[in-house]
Amino acid sequence: MLVFAAVYLLGFRPAVSFSAYLLAFLFILVFSLSNVGFGLITATVSKTSGAATGISFLFVLPQLFLGTFVGASLSSTAQTVSRFVPSHYVTDALTSLFLRGASATSPTIILDLAVVTLSCIAILAVGVILHAKYFKI
């Protein structure tokens, strides 16, 4: 919510409906939950907080460089690999909603939401299973 408020105060006012903002919030919420799953996986494999910090970069850097606007300027091989990173679909959906003016029911948005949701469920499931197995929950 703070990000949406900050960009609005800075003058970014796309010509989209309120439902586009709600859908963007949903995308970010689901994507955040997948990052919780990555955090659980990191906590399971690392023995110290320093190791956890280092291991977390194995999840952060691919999402940062392959899944955002940076990935579009990379080689075709890197762009193909970026399709396996959840942030690629979040960036595509937000770009479609706010810059291309896509409707909330467009096939691109629905596909992006489906991929992000399914990857979130898979990542969270792996994280919870590993964490529960290691910590005997």
- Tell me the pLDDT tens digit for each residue of 34-90: 999 999 999 999 989 999 999 999 999 989 888 887 777 888 888 888 899 999 999
Give mean pLDDT, residues 22-42.
94
Which two structure tokens, joined as six digits, stand for 5? Answer: 């408020």
* Res. 137: pLDDT tops 70: no
Nearest to 56 by CA among 74, 69, 43, 72: 43
User: What pLDDT is recorded for position 52?
Assistant: 93
Domain definitions of the chain by residue range = 2-135
Of 93-97, 117-121, 133-137, which gets the smallest average pLDDT? 133-137
Structure-token pair, residue 20: 């586009």
Which own/partner pairs from 121-127 qualify as long-range (CB within 8 Å, at least 24 positions apart)?
123/34, 123/37, 123/38, 123/41, 123/86, 124/33, 124/34, 124/36, 124/37, 124/40, 125/37, 126/37, 126/41, 127/36, 127/37, 127/38, 127/39, 127/40, 127/41, 127/44
pTM assigned to the model = 0.85
